[in-house]
Chains A and B, each alone.
Chain A
Amino acid sequence: MAERTLPPGLDEAGFDRAINALRQTLGEGKVFATELDRNTYIDPYALGDGLDHAASAAVAPESVEEVQAIVRVANEHRLPLWPVARGKNLGYGAAAPVLAGSAVLDMTRMNKILDVDERFAYATLEPGVGFYQFHEHLTNNDIPLWMSVPANGWGSVIGNALERGIGYTPYGDHTSKLCGLEVVTPTGELVRTGMGAMEGNKSWAHYPYSFGPSWDQMFAQSNLGVVTKANMWMMPEPEMTAHTQVNLPEMEDIEWAMDILADLRLRGVIEHNVVFGNYLHDASAFTTRADWYDGEGPIPDEVAEKIQETYNVGWWTFHLSLFGDGSIVEAKQKIVSDAFEPRLGKKLEWRHWRKGQPREPFSIAVGVPMVLPLNVVNWMGGRGGHIGFSPVLPPSGELAYDAFLRRKRRFEEAGLDYYSSFTVGHRHIANVNMILYNRDDADMVRRTKELFTQMIADAREEGYGEYRTHIEYMDPVAETYDFNNHALMRLNETVKDALDPNGIIAPGRGGVWPARLRDGRKG
C-alpha cells in the first residue's frame, strides 16, 4: 500500500527524529506512524488513490499541555502538523492534509464537555466532542438547549464551526455561534480570544468581540493556530415549532420561489438555512443510480419524473421550519402561507410540535444528529465519493436561476448527474453543487476533476467564489480572490509568516503557504 511520504525538507532520519521526539514527549499510545495508521488517514472519498494528500503520521493529544508540547516539537523538527477535530470533513478531504507528509494533529481524544450553561444557553467544549456525544449529554441530562447539526453528524461541534459548516436550526451559521476560543499558537503559546483574554473574566461566553482587535474568525478555515476549546452559543428549546414542505414542479420555479424565500429570510420570518434542493436528494440517500437507470450520461427527464413521484418531491423541494413562542410561530405561519400559496395554487400543510412532546420532527431540522445522507456516495456505484462546489451568491431568484442553468449545463457536458442545493442563508445563497462519483472509475474521476476546475473558473468569471473547499482545490479557489492583484493573499502570507515562522501549522490550508514552502504551491 502506501509508501511513506515525508514532508518537504525532512529526510528519513530527520522525520524519524521528529517522531521519536514526539514519542518521548507524549509517552506511548499517542503517536501513530505505522503504514496502517497512515492508510487510515487517507481521504475515503479521494479523487484517485489519495496519496497526493497522504499523512506521514498522526499524533493524538489528550490535553492542552500536550498540544503545546507537540507544537514545540514540530517547530524544532520542522514537522508540519494538520489539525483536525474529529476529522470527518467528508467531501472536503476528511482528515487528510493539503500537504502530503504532514502529520495529522488529531484532537478526537480531547472530547470533554467542559461546561453547559442552561441559563445562558452556551457550552464550552473541546474539539473532539462529537454531535452524537453532545446530543446524548443534552438529552440524558434534560438540558433544554438544542444543538444545530450538519447533515453528516459524525463530526465535531467545534471542528464543523471552525470550518464554517452549517446546520438547519436558527443557530445553523455555526461559526457565528462561536464566542471565545482557546488557541495554541504556531509557536506553542496559549491564547484566549474575546473576553477570555482577561484572567477570570465572567463574560467570556457572553460577548464575542472583547476590547480592541477581535480574532475569533482568524482561526476559522485557517492555519494560524490550534483551537483547544471554544464556547458555543446554543438555542434555548422553543415553545413550539411548525414545519412544512414545499414542492416546486418546474425547474424555472426557482426564480420566483427564491425571491419569496430570500425576502422571508431577510426579514427574519424564516430563521434557518433552507436547503432548496433538486429532486435527487432523497433518491440518492436510499437508492443507487443503477436502480433507476443504467444508461450513460445524465439521467433522462422521464427518470427524473419517476424519482419525483416516488419520493413526493418536486423538481425542487425545500422544507421550512418556524421556531419560537406559540403566538409568534402562528403569526409567522400565516405570513409564510400567504407568501407562497397564491403562486403554488394550493395550501401549505403544516405540522406542529409543542414543548413537552417528544421532539418532532425527529431530524436535523430540530438539531437531532444523523448520518443517513452519507449514503449518497453509493449513487454511482463502486467505492463512491462526493465533492461539493459551493460558490456564494446573492439571494436573488434571477441570479440563482442563471447559476443553476450554467452549472447544470456543465454537469451534463461532463456526463454527471446534476445534484444541487441552493442553501439560503440570512443574506446569501451557498450553492452546493455536489458531484457524486465512483472512485474506482478513473474516467469518472477525471471528469469530476475537470468539472470542478471548470466550475471554479466559470464562477470566478460570473463574480462568485466558494465559501469552503476540498483540500485538492485550496490553491485554485484562493487564487480566485484576486482583488488588487491578490492583496488578500499577501496579507494572509504576511500574517502567516509572522505567527508561524517555521511554517508548522497546516501548510496550504486555505491556499496560504508559509514562506519556506511557498515555492511548492500548486496554484
Chain B
Amino acid sequence: MTVRAFVPFLACAVLALAACGDKETSEPVAEPEEMSVLAETASTAETQAEPNNTSGDAHGAELTKVSSQAAAAEQAKGVFKRAAQGDAEAVYLANCQYCHIQLGPGTITLSRRLGPEEALLANRTDLTEGYVKTVVRNGLNTMPALTRVEVSDEELELIAAYLTRNNNSGEE
C-alpha cells in the first residue's frame, strides 16, 4: 500500500500555474483562511480551511474555487460573444475553457502526466497543428472527442493556430 504525497504536488501545480502566463496572474490563488469551495461531485458549498490543515497544502476546496474563478474570469471578457466574431483566442476558450483552464480537469490531468509547467494548454510551445486536431477529433485518455457540430473544421483551424502561436519558427 502506498500513500503518496500528491497534495503538495497539486499545491505546487496551482502556484506554478498562477505564475505563468499573463491571464493566470490576474487570478488570485485562494488564501488559506478564505472561505472556499469543495468539489461538487461531492458537494456544493464552501468550507473553511481547517486550522489543522498543517501541511500548508492547497486544500481541495481552494483548488476548486480557483478552477471556477478562472473560467468565470474568461467569461467576464466575453468569450462566447467574441468567439462568434471569429476571434481565435475566444474560439479556443469558448470550446476548451471547460477543462483547459487553471485547475480544470484537463489541466490537472496534464499536470499529472507532464508536470505543472506543461499543464496549461494555452502556454504550450510544443504543440503542432496536426496534433491538436487529432486530439480534438479523437479524444485522448479521458478527454472526449469533440464533434464537428460543436467545433467546426473552421473553428478547429483557429484553435490549432492559437495553440501553436508561441511555437518557435521552424516548428510547425
Please list the residues of chain B having a beta carbon within 8 angstroms of any beta carbon in chain A. Answer: 1-4, 6-7, 10, 35-50, 52-53, 57, 59-61, 63-65, 67-69, 71-72, 75-76, 78-81, 94, 97-99, 103-105, 108-109, 112, 137-139, 141-142, 144-150, 152
Contact = CB atoms under 8 A, between A and B. Distances in A.
B5 to A, nearest CB: 9
Nearest to B99: A371
Given A362-B65, A363-B44, A139 B75 contact: yes
B78 A372 contact: no
Contacts of B41: 151, 275, 277, 281, 284-285, 373, 376, 421, 434
A86 B36 CA distance: 30
Contacts, number: 232
A313 B49 CA distance: 11
A313 B47 CA distance: 10
A36 interface: yes
Given A281-B41, A374-B105, A383-B141, A351 B35 contact: yes
A377 B108 CA distance: 13
A3 interface: no
Interface string A18-61: 00000000000100100011011110100000000000001010
Contacts of A295: 1
29 contacts: A58-B147, A136-B76, A136-B78, A168-B44, A275-B43, A286-B39, A291-B4, A292-B3, A295-B1, A303-B1, A306-B3, A311-B38, A312-B61, A317-B38, A318-B43, A319-B46, A351-B35, A351-B46, A351-B48, A362-B65, A362-B68, A363-B45, A368-B68, A370-B68, A372-B103, A372-B104, A373-B40, A375-B109, A434-B41
Contact of B1 (A40, A287, A293, A372): A293
A480 interface: no
Nearest to A309: B52
Nearest to A109: B149
A40 B76 contact: no
A44 B150 CA distance: 15
Nearest to B143: A44
Nearest to B48: A349
B42 A317 contact: yes
Contact of B45 (A32, A245, A383): A245
A361 B147 contact: no
Interface residues of A, number: 84
Nearest to B60: A282
A312 B48 CA distance: 10
A286 B60 contact: yes
A177 interface: no
Given A39-B138, A318-B43, A373-B41, 12 more contacts: A36-B148, A108-B149, A140-B78, A277-B41, A281-B43, A291-B6, A317-B42, A370-B71, A372-B64, A375-B108, A383-B141, A383-B142
Which are the 4 A-B pairs with shortest beta-carbon distances?
A: A281-B42, A319-B45, A361-B46, A245-B47
Interface in A288-304: 288, 291-295, 300, 303
A318 B141 CA distance: 31
A369 interface: yes
B39 A321 contact: no
Contacts of B59: 311-312
A294 B4 CA distance: 11
Nearest to A353: B35
A60 B149 contact: yes
Contacts of A306: 3
Interface of A: 29, 32, 36-37, 39-42, 44, 58, 60, 86-87, 90, 94-95, 106, 108-109, 132-133, 135-137, 139-140, 151, 153-154, 168, 243-245, 272, 274-275, 277, 281-282, 284-288, 291-295, 300, 303, 306, 310-313, 317-321, 349, 351, 360-365, 368-378, 383-384, 421, 434
A188 B49 CA distance: 55
Contacts of A303: 1, 3
Contacts of B139: 44
B78 A294 contact: no
Contacts of B75: 132, 135-136, 139-140
A154 B57 CA distance: 29
A243 B67 contact: no
